Structure 1
């Protein structure tokens, strides 16, 4: 395992991903029916922002620390999720998606987590022992399909891989196609990094060929122009986003753009339907 999210915890991508994930789950919970939440690449669940790995990159200073310094009330739910794993006004720990999702659970909801790497899975089990989450240690794409359709009528699958493997996007595309055939009404969230617009455009063309009617693409570009060979931002593909989420999305995206824009850049964050 080469990728370690502890180097990147609380960065701008985490802020956008978790802000939107919270808004999405809360929108779905406006209806009382139970939800099954599945995280296919769960990681370790909790990260030390004061640790050597996080301090080496300092990425949280341009992410979660900016969010805590920003007074915009649209970010209150996100800040509350981070504050829940901290004591005092400043964040020293950062919740991964498993801890964020666990905070959102109602009594009728279920949480299923998966982490393939043994060391991370061991830590995840310890981090989640005070929750009702089920923790698996399986291939993420095998588990994704095996858990569908969900036990409850509604559910959300979160797919957040490290993109270490050259075939990662191809596996996502193939698994998403199979998952949609089994579970066409379900909500799926796929996170991805943005480094090269041309390469990303080619992947979108492959996804369009799946002909999934309601696939939203949210893209957050940090800089006003591409910065070669570095991280330029991140995005989410969201299949079947609920109406309440879509209604609240424009204001939330603008709050995130304004808060995260690097000095000297306006930044860009957009939401568009991915259609043929």
Structure 2
């Protein structure tokens, strides 16, 4: 869901010819092995990207295209992270700024992005987020995709988003988060609601009809200032994703709602 909506968001902004600055604060290593031990252990590829690649729904064509672009042959062996996806979407007038704090991943990322125009930084994600705002272009997108391994991760996202909004109120921001414990999530959603950001869209993909304790129940996105073309095209895209990704025996659910104060 994250990458399908990221593609749709950037493409909606590109309806206008003006340049965009795309900023990825937690870029990772840029390319992932679908045949590796971790991918086989979690089963995420089988239940996610491989299902979408096998589905004929034309609404998912743009997502399939970015996967196929980094693979040779019919079977996918690698998966592009958001840096490689964003690089594929760049027009000549656009700029791409990537950041990865962990030295080993940053080293790999530089190699993966070697033949692109991306600038790669190795800094604290939240410091870079604020330092890059406002960008040199009037419009742009900040992609925030933390691992949520630190207990204060949500608090840092909230505080930095509040500061970023003060610096760049008309900018577009996409924040990914996992859905595990509902009570923790509701508390965080209330904190974000209290920021008073007028246009804050919350998209949530719950995989199972009931919570499955201790496992990944789905994921969500907070999107600040999504363009009109994006929100208008969103309902059928979300339904296509829900249909193809629903686990066996579950209908699943994807919702998109504005966070009102």
For the aligned pair, the TM-score class normalised by the smaller chain equals over 0.9
**Residue in 2 that maps onto 1:129:** 114
Matched, 1:267 2:252: yes
Contiguous gaps of at least 5 residues in structure 1: 1-15
Matched, 1:109 2:108: no
Distance 1:57 1:137 in 2: 28
* Aligned positions, number: 261
Counterpart residue number, 2:193: 208
* Offset at residue 221 of structure 1 (A): 0.1
Query: Which of residues 190, 193, 208 in structure 2 aligns to 1:223?
Result: 208
Q: Does 1:199 align with 2:173?
A: no
Aligned residue in 2 for 1:5: none
Structure 1 residue aligned with 2:160, among 154, 175, 186?
175
Equivalent runs, 1:1-276 vs 2, <5 Å: 16-276=1-261
Give the C-alpha shift of residue 197 in structure 1.
1.2
Q: Secondary structure at the match of 1:151?
A: coil
Who is 1:10 aligned against?
none
Please give the per-residue CA displacement for 1:170-226, whole angstroms capped at 9, x wherever unaligned: 000000000000000000000000001111000011001100000000000000011
Runs of 4+ aligned residues of structure 1 deviating over 4 Å after TM superposition are: none
State the distance in 1 between where 2:214 and 2:41 align. 20
TM-score, scaled relative to structure 2: 0.99
Structure 2: 5+ residue stretches without partners: none
What is the CA-CA distance between 1:58 and the residue it aligns to?
2.2
SS at match of 2:149: coil
Query: TM-score normalised to the size of structure 1?
Result: 0.94
Structure 1 vs Structure 2 CA RMSD? 0.5
Deviation at 1:53, TM superposition (A): 2.1
